[in-house]
Amino acid sequence: MSQIKETPKQKNNNIRNLTLVILALLIVMMAVLVFIMPMFGFEPLERPIGYVKSLFGSSQEAAGDATANFEQTEQRYLSQIEQYENQLNEAEVELAQSSAEIDRLTQDIVRLNNQIDNLRDEAEEGSDVQESVLSLAKTYTEMSAVNAAAILANVSDSLAISILREIKESERGAILSAMDPELAARYTEQLAN
């Protein structure tokens, strides 16, 4: 079976989510220790609080400090949770933007691949035409100049010029001299360009 690899973003999200769950559990445990257990007569923090009170001298001072310290810690954790939620929301927005950009680039790639395929098809067609012109040029060199001139006079100018370009100069001269002078002049001008 193939394994699904996590991206760095997915790993960071997983770590962030796990951290948030652990923080939430710690907050719940602290609430149970401080508020719920004393309701049932259990004082799990009595000894530690007593120790803290003895360090500070006054029991009320120690209790106030412990409560204030707990509240500060709770506020700090809540603030961190809010920061993590904001970061998570920002990451979701970035992910949506990146996804849209990937979709746009994918469409561009498909469009460009289609253009490449069309250009390849055109190039192959052009290659086929060039092969046909070479074959025709060979055929015209094998016949008499008079016959070749008569046939070339009846094809399109562009095809006639393409064929004449592929024929050797001496044979081309013989074919042009066998043509009507006006047509031979027009072909000569086009061959010069």
The per-residue pLDDT for 55 is: 62
pTM to 2 decimal places: 0.39
> How many helices (H) and strands (E) would you count in the chain?
8, 0
In a domain, 161, yes or no: yes
pLDDT at 39 > cutoff 90: no
C-alpha to C-alpha distance for 34 and 114, rounded to whole angstroms: 69
How many domains in the chain? 2
In a domain, 177, yes or no: yes
Residue 58, SS3?
coil
In a domain, 136, yes or no: no
Segment 141-192, tens digit of pLDDT = 888 989 889 888 888 888 899 899 999 998 999 999 999 999 999 999 998 8
